[in-house]
Chain A
Amino acid sequence: MASTATLRKPASGFRISRKMLPYVLSLPALLVCIGILIPFFTAVIYSFQRYRLSQPWARQFNWGENYLNFVTDPAFWNTLKVSLLYAGITVTLELLLGLGIALLLQRRSTINNFISIMLLLPLMIAPALAALMWKLMTNPSFGILSYLASLVGLHDFRWASSPDTALLTVVLVDIWVYTPFIMILLLAGLRSLPTQPFEAAALDGVPRSFVFFRITLPMLTPYILTATLFRLLDSIQQFDIIYAMTQGGPGNTLTVFQVEAYLNFFQSTNVGRSAALLIILWAITYTLSNVFIKNWLRLRERARGEA
């Protein structure tokens, strides 16, 4: 195939050898981002140091001590647990909900298109401000949601302020903000699926559930993987919503990685611990992404093989 492309001379422009072309296309993007690797490695070094800004004289390498301390620190294990739980719950619910909404809006019509754009609105509000508004709406005195809840008999529902419902409340806000992200990617995916398999299935009278699970879902899987991957990366790094709603409380209910690292860095100015926490977070996201990308590539290969 490669040889057929050079049958005739291209009409214009200077030529770049076929072998070089992909590098020429991808390197600028890489070069622009590579600068960020230097601060990243600096931060890795910090994580191996005893480094408190308030005790500059005591700054020195303590090698793995920051990490070793985590092993015996119950606060760290709580952070790990809460972060994974939060990411797991939000991404699962958002994926199901986003897929459901995308299916509801799949048909091309003016009203569906309009709704799909309007549903993006929550995503367009900065999460910190969205959380502030949710905090007001769930306030027991002035909050419309608390008022509505009291109308249906939930007089003492405490939203983000009770350890029993805090996770539920921030998850609710997260779902409100980020489900549209998954919805729009899956909707675009659904609408770009080829029509022939569906037409054929309809002609053969194949049950709709079979069509969904055997045709739609497999064909949509690459899109689901990308959307989930990006959502997962953001969700496990969630900060804005949780910090604005509860600052990690009540107690230690919501002290996820970023909240802990933020407090360690900006308030305690314990740079070493903060960096170590974030490196662990980085390692988790790295591993998760690796799994996702491997599966994504395999699916792609298979799809190509079948074609």
Chain B
Amino acid sequence: MYEKEKDLISAFLRGEVDRRGMLKGLGAAGLAAGTAGTLFNMVSTQALAADFDWKAHSGKSLKLLLNKHPYADAMIANLQAFKDLTGIEVTYDVFPEDVYFDKVTAALSSGSAEYDAFMTGAYMTWTYGPAGWITDLNEWIKDPTKTNPQYAWDDFLPGVKNSCAWNGQPGGALGSEDAKQWCIPWGYEQNNLSYNQEMFDKAGVAVPKNLDELSAAAAKLTKDVGGGVYGIGVRGSRSWATIHPGFLSGYANFGQKDLNVSADGKLSAAMNTAESKAFHTKWVSMIQESGPKDWSTYTWYQVGTDLGAGASAMIYDADILGYFMNGGDNKMAGKLAYAPFAANPAASAPTPNIWIWSLAMSNFAKDKDATWYFLQWASGLEHAIFGATKMDFVNPVRASVWKDEIFRERLNKSYPGYVEMHDISAPGAKIHFTAQPLFFDVTTEWAATLQKMVAKQVPVDEGLDQLVESIDRQLKEAGLG
């Protein structure tokens, strides 16, 4: 029964038929979508199992620490497939995003063996790695006896993959030869423009192409849309989260850096160059003129809420924030559009800084080999396709998912312009920060300085000089400067 169909699916899995061809073939064979799905899972499980002993750790159990996030939701929805495939029992603790990293720090700093693997961001591994809380995953990735031959580590987008790899030296280049793979990328966010098409039409504004145009467009939108709508939403709270999205993406596009690394590996602050001062000046006046009134309290949530509820016309922030706001019970659902953004008119392409939700292995894990089984399954192609086509697992980190016709079609249908935006900005997408353990000190103080500039408590030039002085002192104090 279903032999022909199984052959077709196997052909797909071998890469001989594309996904669309396979589904068409299955449809022609008169298979209901549900049956096709079941069949697909069955055969793909067999395919995964073909050259690799997935049952090697059968009977063991793992515990995960997860953030309440659509990525975690998608994984949980598919978790039974992993249990069936490996015979490993998996339990998990989900904590709210608001307190998630506090929980991670508390669990790891006490050396707790409770959790074997957990979700993290790449920036956090700059602390966790040197602290000895997480494991270099190269040991497993590069071991053919422990990693299934179809895992295709090369399939991961290079900018994203390398952003999770660091040699542990303060200032060491991400993705260098001697880098340790502290975590496996899972899903990621680029920072680009998400905007309200209706409001753009109403105010007669074209999609801005650089920072000056962005400022001008934001000002015009603030003036002409009416109803208290403001032009540009960006984050502004006293936190690292204010620096890393649109702000650093634009900053990096002008070739500016957070820190300088000298030949002998010493770090020093680099925010008071003439170009940096010019960028800061434009950014600050853009917020003053067309940003949210209570910008200094703006986090991810307020930026998104305002766009979704029609209080703002545009955001320069994570693309998936714009993605989320185009669905659900948001008032503006279905009215949003997307565009890649290069702040520097002289730049050839956008250089978005990225946030990467990743999976890391605790150094205190009870059974690291079994834990790796989970990590490679959760970051494998099968699960990525499942998440991207059936759940909100966007943006996927594997090139082959972005080539998947069904995924592209699904995005094009409900999120016009999203795929194109991704394709244009993905080549330049990576972490543009300098990897070093004082990341949070530097960015928090940077955000506080921006707040002072926007509130006109300090002029931009002076503020940046003070910031550089203070950061340099802290770097020296920590033995890095």
Residue ranges of A at the interface with B (Cβ–Cβ < 8 Å)? 52-56, 58, 69, 135, 138-142, 156, 158-163, 245-252, 263, 265-270
CB atoms of B126 and A139 under 8 A apart: no
State whether A266 and B309 are in contact (beta carbons under 8 Å apart), knowing that A156-B293, A249-B451, A250-B296 are contacts in the complex. Answer: no
- Is the CB–CB distance between B105 and A139 below 8 Å? no
Q: How far is the CA of A249 from the CA of B448 in the complex (A)?
A: 7
Q: Which residues of B contact A142 (CB under 8 A)?
A: 309, 311
Expressed in whole angstroms, the Cα–Cα distance for A63 and B440 within the complex equals 25
Question: Can you list 27 A-B contacts with CB-CB less than 8 angstroms, sorted by A residue number?
Answer: A52-B437, A52-B478, A69-B477, A138-B294, A139-B294, A141-B228, A141-B306, A159-B294, A160-B297, A161-B296, A163-B451, A163-B457, A245-B297, A247-B297, A248-B238, A248-B448, A249-B296, A250-B451, A250-B452, A250-B454, A251-B452, A251-B457, A252-B448, A263-B440, A266-B105, A268-B441, A270-B441
Which residues does chain B contribute within 8 Å of A139, judged by CB atoms?
294, 302
- On chain A, the residues within 8 Å of B70 by CB distance are none
Chain B 448-475 interface mask (CB, 8 Å, partner A; 1/0): 1101101101000000000000000000
List chain A residues, Cβ under 8 A from B437. Answer: 52, 54-55, 269
B127 CB–A CB distance under 8 Å: yes
Q: Which residue of the partner chain A has the closest CB to B294? A: A161
User: How many B residues touch the partner, as a band?
Assistant: 35 or more
B412 within 8 A of A: no
A141 touches B311 (CB 8 A): yes
Whole-angstrom CA separation of A141 from B296 in the bound complex: 15
The answer to whether B237 touches A247, judged by C-beta atoms less than 8 angstroms apart, is yes
The closest CB in chain B to the CB of A271 belongs to B109
Q: Are B455 and A162 in contact (CB under 8 A)?
A: yes
**Inside 8 A of B440's CB, which chain A residues have their CB?**
263, 267-268
B364 interfacial contact with A, CB 8 Å:
no
Contact between chains at B127 and A140 (CB < 8 Å): no
Which residues on B sit within 8 Å (CB–CB) of A156? 293
Known contacts A52-B437, A54-B127, A140-B292; A250/B109 CB under 8 A: no
Separation of A249 and B297 alpha carbons in the complex (Å): 8
Closest to A65 in B: B477
The answer to whether B309 and A135 touch across the interface, beta carbons within 8 angstroms, is no
Known contacts A54-B130, A267-B440, A269-B109; decide if A249 and B293 are in contact (CB<8 Å): no
Q: Which residues of the other chain, B, contact A138 by a CB distance below 8 angstroms?
A: 294
Q: What is the predominant secondary structure among interface residues of chain A facing chain B?
A: loop
CA distance A258 to B39 in the complex (A): 56
CA distance A245 to B238 in the complex (A): 11
Residues of B within 8 A of A158 (CB): 293-294
Q: Which residues of the partner chain B approach A159 to less than 8 Å between Cβ atoms?
A: 294
Q: Which of B272-303 contact A (CB under 8 A)?
A: 292-297, 302
Residues 127-164 of chain B, each 1 if its beta carbon lies under 8 Å from chain A, else 0: 10011100000000000000000000000000000000
Check if B438 is an interface residue, CB within 8 A of chain A.
Answer: yes
**Contact assessment for A269 and B306 in the assembled complex, using a CB-CB cutoff below 8 Å:** no
Bound: A163/B228 CA distance, A: 23
Q: In the A-B complex, list the 8 residue pairs whose CB atoms are closest, starting with the nearest.
A: A249-B238, A161-B294, A54-B437, A141-B311, A267-B440, A250-B296, A251-B452, A250-B451
A159 to B297, CA, bound (A): 10
Chain A residues, Cβ within 8 Å of B311: 141-142
Point out the residues of chain A lying under 8 angstroms from B130, CB to CB: 54-56
- A250-B296, A268-B441 provided; 15 other pairs, C-beta below 8 A? A53-B109, A53-B131, A141-B306, A158-B294, A160-B297, A161-B297, A162-B296, A163-B455, A246-B238, A246-B297, A247-B239, A249-B297, A250-B451, A251-B455, A267-B240
**Binary per-residue interface labels of chain B (215-249) against chain A in the complex, 1 for a CB within 8 Å, 0 otherwise:** 00000000000001000000001111000000000
Evaluate contact between B131 and A251: CB separation under 8 angstroms.
no
